[in-house]
Structure 1
């Protein structure tokens, strides 16, 4: 039998009203865990000097350079137990000449699974970003990209699974001369000059771009910096056309069309060649020019009878870089490595696709060799499905008129730096940053990178020592 103080059906009202009696305790129980979490986050932030703003990308922009802070991004960290894999890929006007071209470009990049991709014929400012979206939707690794930020036709871009430190884009000098006639005026004047500005932007041709990439690893001591250059040299005055012209009988006639390529190549490579002895350098792209290693005595019968030292490739090898494909496959007779073309076997609709198109190796990956940085594999790739030639290429699975080139390169820890050299550089570096902090410059983007990461990069240490302390 229920007692007067025990719960019963008749005590329903008591239970309905009782929560108000305990309301303060309930609120306290709800607030206390939240408060503890906030206090804990504050303590973590204070003890680690965490700046919430550093969770976001910091970009300093100028017409020629973009610099990005290095941040700890766990989902970008991947082991480099396998060799570094690089791909150069002319994507044929962003895949516009085949059905679902962008999806097919992303699919084949995912199949190859490269660490870095050099792209050419990037048709729009949206292309690289769209490819990144497609790639990131199929993998847990976060891809990044850089391309020309101003040109309506960017042409070249670099994709990577790692981290960009710095990148440079190159324009015609004429662009600056023209565009400054229209910029930095008031809004009304800029509106009047809209046509001129648009025309100037549309006329930009970017022969290439370069970037410094941080190859991240789960073990920070295995991390590397690498300089990477993507080139797309002028397609006009294509040398093999002249070489196969029966009226051409002097090498100077062929060479006349190559000088423009050579000059543009030098402009782009100049900065990165200066540092090639310190940081690994890779140059990849569509050269629109054959290799001097291929046009030799043994192959002249298929090259219109010519032996020719093509300047675009000779220049880069004279500068100390090696052709990765020929490093693995040195015989151009046995392994021609043709990259042009997957679909253009005959020339043009004007001749009803009946004139044979010169087939050649014009896409390359070059590297600066040293004992710690050496290729172990190279291949030409265009998927596995049979490709129909022009003009019936629209349903092809491979979205390009070029074969891509893939290189795998082995990295080893740099053991040439003596321990006492490291200590001396670290001592001078500490002194330098102490002096900078006295000047109020210790929060610069570059100082964040150097102070936080320099100890992991002996190659970078020597470079920075040379830059900061030229008398060392």
Structure 2
């Protein structure tokens, strides 16, 4: 009798293990991992002052080391060597697809891309993943001047209200225009990346500014472009993974100390946002030169911006 019971128990445990493994396998099959990257190429890479082929080599190295599936570029057109779309060159080198938005912005991907509009001039594309899921993917490159953090440091802007008003007039309409364009597709998982030329409002709260302790930055600012995206239901992928601003500032501007200002005002202005209840942020990395801020190092680093890559899960 005891022997029979032991056999029955053993069989039951074995069946339970098989059922659990099967459930785990089914759960894994229902989840897709997507690595998205935002990368400002700095005039296509020409501004780095390296030979063209050398610059392309390290741009490709950055994408490969980031293990990116899709990349949103800014400043993707070269203007000193061959005047070609560097995004197209990189896509061809990788055997990927590409979509050119304008002289600055482009998207390349290992997965199928299709513009949202039939004319092909869309700021966003359909990204079709291997299991058939569709994601809306768009790229922004917001106006670079005036750059309000510099104006605050230089005492040209003396209050949060003045800084927010300047930023609102300069850039907010660009974000609204893109969201208007994709409004009909808001039921789909959506990813928006870009060089915002404006910090995240999450990084300039009263507590974050107090902890930063920079006497040149005396007040908090609710930066309007990012605040508005949060109000529209988007999430900041890097801050979803690393909510403690002082522990992981994630500065992407700039990798070239003293290029535009000395002392420099560093900030996280290259951002990845996502929306939709089927998307979550699993991890995020800063890609750049050999420095404490870089999680993924490429030397020499071919840009004045550090890049950002985020791993998203799609259910």
Global fold match (TM > 0.5): yes
Match of 2:41 in 1: 91
Whether contact under 8 Å (1:119, 1:158) holds in the other structure is: yes
Indicate how the Cα distance of structure 1 residues 338 and 213 shifts in structure 2: closer, same or farther if over 3 A, else same: same
Bigger radius of gyration: 1
| Secondary structure at 1:356 match in 2 | coil
Q: Distance in 1 between matches of 2:223 and 2:38?
A: 20
- 8 Å CA contact 2:159–2:219 kept in 1: the answer is no
Residues in 2 aligned to 1:368 and 1:329: alpha-carbon distance in whole angstroms: 18
Deviation of 1:80 (Å): 9.3
Cross-structure match for 1:367: 274
Question: Are 2:219 and 1:266 equivalent residues in the alignment?
Answer: no
- Counterparts of 2:267 and 2:185, CA distance in 1: 31
Residues of 2 paired with 1:209 and 1:107: CA distance?
26
From 219, 237, 245, the equivalent of 2:146 is: 237
Q: In structure 1, what is the Cα distance between the partners aligned to 2:154 and 2:288?
A: 30
1:312 equivalent in alignment to 2:225: yes
Q: Does 1:409 align with 2:306?
A: no
Q: Please say if residues 110 and 135 of structure 1, whose CA atoms lie closer than 8 Å, have aligned partners that are also in contact.
A: no
- C-alpha distance in 2 between matches for 1:243 and 1:340: 16
What are the equivalent positions in structure 2 for 1:136-175 lying under 5 Å apart?
136=95, 143-148=96-101, 154-167=103-116
Query: Contact 1:168/1:209 (CA < 8 Å) preserved in 2?
Result: no
Aligned to 1:214: 128
Does the alignment pair 1:356 with 2:266? no
Q: 2:237 aligns with which of 309, 313, 324?
A: 324
Please state how far the C-alpha of 1:256 moved relative to its aligned partner: 3.6
Kept after mapping to 1: 8 A contact 2:191/2:273: yes
- Displacement after TM superposition at 1:386 (Å): 5.8
Output the TM-score relative to the length of structure 1: 0.53
Per-residue deviation, 1:103: 2.1
The equivalent residue for 2:60 is: 106
Residue 241 of structure 2 contacts residue 284 of structure 2 at CA under 8 Å; is this kept in 1? yes
CA separation of 1:242 and 1:397: change in aligned 2, threshold 3 A: same
**Per-residue deviation at 1:101?**
1.4
Q: Please state how far the C-alpha of 1:169 moved relative to its aligned partner.
A: 11
Cα distance, 1:284–1:168 mapped onto 2, change above 3 Å? farther
Structure 1 pair 80–215 and aligned structure 2 pair: CA distance change class (3 A): farther
1:400 pairs with 2:303: yes
SS in 2 for 1:83: strand
1:9-28 → structure 2 map (5 Å cutoff)? none
Secondary structure, counterpart of 2:301 in structure 1? coil
Which has the higher relative contact order, 1 or 2, with Cα contacts under 8 A spaced 6 or more apart? 2
| CA deviations over 1:180-226 (Å, ceiling 9, x no partner) | xxxxxxxxxxxxxxxxxxxxxxxxxx9x921111112xxxxx32011
Which structure 2 residues correspond to residues 46-195 of structure 1 after superposition, within 5 A?
83-98=33-48, 99=50, 100-124=54-78, 125-136=84-95, 143-148=96-101, 154-167=103-116
In 1, the alpha carbon distance for the partners of 2:118 and 2:42 equals 20
Change (3 A) 1:80 1:292: same
Which has the larger share of strand?
2
CA deviations on 1:395-452 (whole Å, 9 max, x unpaired) are 951101111111111122xxxxxxxxxxxxxxxxxxxxxxxxxxxxxxxxxxxxxxxx
Distance 1:231 1:282, change over 3 A: same
Uncovered stretches (5+) of structure 2, i.e. residues with no partner: 1-28, 79-83, 293-297
